[in-house]
Amino acid sequence: MPDLRVHFLPELVEPAELAGNRCVVIDVLRATTTMVSALAAGARAVVPCLTVEDARRLASTFPPDKVVLGGERGGLPIEGFDLGNSPTEYTREAVGDKTVVLTTTNGTKALLHCQVASEIVIAAFVNLSAVCEHLMTSADAATMDVEVVCAGTELQVTWDDVLLAGAVTERLASGGKWQLDDQAAIARDAWLAISESAGGRLTDRLTAALRKSRGGRNLVRIGMQSDITLAADVDRFAIVPRFDATANRIEAI
């Protein structure tokens, strides 16, 4: 039976440990939610960059009408960029048929940490079922380990990412195909504490939980609490973004 491991921070797993395995990257508030939203709005691809300088330099290699430069530092838009890191900004009018070059404080860093994995998919609550279905039905599901990597916030574990890791773990564990490590079990228990008592109010319960997280508190502080509600909209989209590390592109599959 393959393993399902959760890593509450990228720094808790060496890149070499991910080699040959499938990797799920999570940054609920907000990078992975924004990536999913951008692709759902018709972006051709999302290109993650580690630094602001890298993003500016890469964006300059595209025709101006075919690229959107997006990102944040400290949750706030970067001077001179087209967009910040709010999913609400990534509309069809803004990103349709364009490549999004994106750099964020935590999410793109976590993604690039995982680039030696055999497959890297992007997860958020907004595409939870699509990602889980992809993982469970792929031909190699019965043999390949799954690594769930949470971005965290500035080297701190965050509840929002742990909850999504738990939701992914709960879905996959129900099929009996994976052996959970301790962090996966902890994340699943955190998710079940929210979801099992939610009744028909899962979105409300999840939104409240995300608001209490470190990332949620940061968004409230800068007046962007509406992004929390959007990030808690489970299964809003039915797409699975996959990161091709060789081409350095995220595209919907």
**What tens digit of pLDDT does each residue of 63-110 get?**
999 999 999 999 999 999 999 999 999 999 999 999 999 999 999 999
This prediction's pTM:
0.96
Q: Are residues 161 and 238 in the same domain?
A: yes
In the chain, the number of structural domains is 2
CA angle 70, 76, 82 (to 5 degrees): 30
Select from 133, 129, 145 the least CA-distant residue to 19: 145
Instruction: Quote the domain boundaries for residue 73.
Output: 33-108+245-252
Q: How many CB atoms lie within 10 A of CB 198?
A: 14
pLDDT of the residue at 139? 65
pLDDT of the residue at 43? 98
Indicate which CATH number applies to the domain containing 95: 3.90.1560.10
Q: Are residues 13 and 131 in the same domain?
A: yes
Question: Which residues contact residue 69 at a Cβ distance below 8 angstroms, ignoring those fewer than 6 apart?
Answer: 55, 56, 59, 80, 81, 82, 83, 101
Q: Residue 177's pLDDT band (boundaries 50, 70, 90)?
A: confident
Measured CA to CA, the distance from residue 52 to residue 32 in angstroms comes to 18
Q: Are residues 72 and 125 in the same domain?
A: no
Helix (H, G, I), strand (E, B) or coil at 138: coil
Q: Are residues 90 and 182 in the same domain?
A: no
> pLDDT tens-digit profile of 105-134?
999 999 999 999 999 999 999 999 999 999
> pLDDT tens-digit profile of 51-72?
999 999 999 999 999 999 999 9
Q: Are residues 128 and 218 in the same domain?
A: yes
Show the tokens assigned to 72.
């944040």
Q: Are residues 122 and 229 in the same domain?
A: yes
CA angle 136, 138, 140 (to 5 degrees): 105
Q: Are residues 206 and 131 in the same domain?
A: yes
Q: Are residues 143 and 18 in the same domain?
A: yes
Show the tokens assigned to 116.
């030696």
63: Cα separation from own chain's centroid: 28
H, E, C per residue of 21-65: CEEEEECCCCHHHHHHHHHHCCCCEEEECCCHHHHHHHHCCCCHH
R_g of the chain, CA atoms, integer Å = 17
Q: Are residues 136 and 213 in the same domain?
A: yes
Show the tokens assigned to 210.
């995300």
Q: Are residues 11 and 97 in the same domain?
A: no
Q: Are residues 80 and 56 in the same domain?
A: yes
Q: Are residues 125 and 13 in the same domain?
A: yes
Helix (H, G, I), strand (E, B) or coil at 139: coil
